[in-house]
A = this chain, B = another copy of it.
Amino acid sequence: MVNVGIVGVGLVGSELIAQLVAHGASRNLRIVALSSSKKMHLSNEQYTGITSDWRQAVDSGEPSDLGRLASYLAAGKDHGVVIDCTSSDSVAELYPSWLKQGLSIVTPNKKGFSGDLNLYKSIVELSRSANGPFAYHESTVGAGLPVLATLTDLVKTGDKVTKIEGIFSGTLSYIFNNFSSLSSSEPKNFSEIVSVAKELGYTEPDPRDDLNGMDVARKVTICARAIGLPATLETLAVENIVPSALQTVASASEFLDRLPEFDAHFAELNGEALKEKQVLRYVGVVDPQGGSGVKLVKYPASHPFASLQGSDNIIKFTTERFPNGLIIQGAGAGAAVTAFGIFSDLIKVQERVHV
């Protein structure tokens, strides 16, 4: 058995619990600890699995104490894994202490893998042993798409990655797939598409948190570090496509109200691309020779990025062994696919601890 503790029981955490309740037992995975931001519930000394009524158990539980949750997992005779389903910096800072207690980490939280480089190095160092504990974070990039697993395989087997290029944000994928297309008759206004994306729930509460490129920058940083580059958010060239006059307006609603003033600006950029039979895409690039960054790029119709649909992510690795690229494409956001990525990582841990 593997004892699983889940920190963060929002959309992704709840979906993960549902997937584990349905399919975890056959993989010897047992949820024994759950924590929301306020309350937590630990199972008993026999580490009995928590399955039904978990929500009520958490809501009526003791005050959340992640130190105690980790000690509880570490005290079990079975291997313990903490799954961080928050997006919190302060939870990520706890990973080294958890790894030191022998607990594996699985997480979709980007903070520990894209923030402070020393924290990242410490996580890597403490999860290096063949006997565990392990740290997996597939779902930080492209949700459940096998992006980091594939990158890791390429690196471990000695391939040389010469470029990683991708549309890493479902939100920006949706926006530019709809805004910049060679097949649509009449281009829509940029502001209109952003508003629809927000209504569909595709954007952050303030869409500027998508358009400023920082979410993509974190994913680029994670990919860069996965191939051994000492990348940091601070050194990455990030093209913030929020018009500068709107970067400082106070509220999301004021931003959306005023965005139409800049429709002509975006239409001009788009028009230039379309005139060359190209489309605009907002991409993240890892280039070991320099030039890593997040930016608007033009692609011809024949390029796989040009025919992307919906809110799919697409990531292309160019390597010595794959000079024409290895491409992975599909839904890169949403609770079901994010939880799938976490669950897959959890099975990798389970398989490596031989249970």
A354-B23 CB under 8 A given contacts A150-B146, A153-B347, A157-B340:
no
**Looking across the interface, which residue of chain B has its beta carbon closest to that of A328?**
B328
* Cross-chain contact B22 with A344 (CB below 8 angstroms): no
Q: A130-B355, A150-B146, A347-B156 are in contact. Are A330 and B322 (CB under 8 A)?
A: yes
Decide if A352 is an interface residue (CB 8 Å cutoff). Answer: yes
A328 to B329 Cα, complex, angstroms: 6
Q: How many positions in chain A have a CB within 8 Å of any CB in the partner chain?
A: 45
Contacts A22-B158, A324-B331 given; 7 further ones with Cβ under 8 A? A149-B149, A157-B344, A183-B302, A312-B324, A324-B330, A327-B328, A351-B352
Interface flags for A314-355 (1: CB within 8 Å of B; 0: not) read: 000000111011111111000011001001100100011011
Q: How far is the CA of A130 from the CA of B149 in the complex (A)?
A: 21
Inside 8 A of A307's CB, which chain B residues have their CB? 302, 304, 307
A143 to chain B, nearest CB (A): 10
Is A131's CB within 8 Å of the partner chain B?
A: yes
Q: How far is the CA of A309 from the CA of B324 in the complex (A)?
A: 9
With the chains together, A61 CA to B322 CA distance in Å? Answer: 35
C-alpha gap A312/B316 in the complex (Å): 13
Instruction: Identify which of residues 152-180 in chain A touch chain B, using a CB-to-CB cut-off of 8 Å.
Output: 153-154, 156-159
Residues of B within 8 A of A325 (CB): 329-330
* Cα separation A324 to B330 with both chains bound (whole Å): 7
Could you name 21 residue pairs across A and B whose Cβ atoms are closer than 8 Å?
A19-B158, A23-B156, A23-B158, A131-B354, A144-B321, A146-B146, A146-B150, A146-B328, A153-B340, A153-B347, A156-B347, A157-B343, A157-B344, A307-B307, A321-B337, A326-B328, A326-B331, A327-B328, A329-B329, A352-B352, A354-B354
* Cβ contact of A327, chosen from B144, B330, B354, cutoff 8 A: B330
User: Could you tell me if A337 and B322 are in contact, using CB atoms closer than 8 angstroms?
Assistant: yes
What distance in Å separates the Cβ of A162 from its nearest Cβ neighbour in chain B?
A: 14
Residue with the highest number of chain B CB atoms closer than 10 Å, among A131, A153, A310:
A153
Q: How far is the CB of A2 from chain B (nearest CB, A)?
A: 11
Is residue A81 contacting chain B, with contact meaning CB distance below 8 A? no
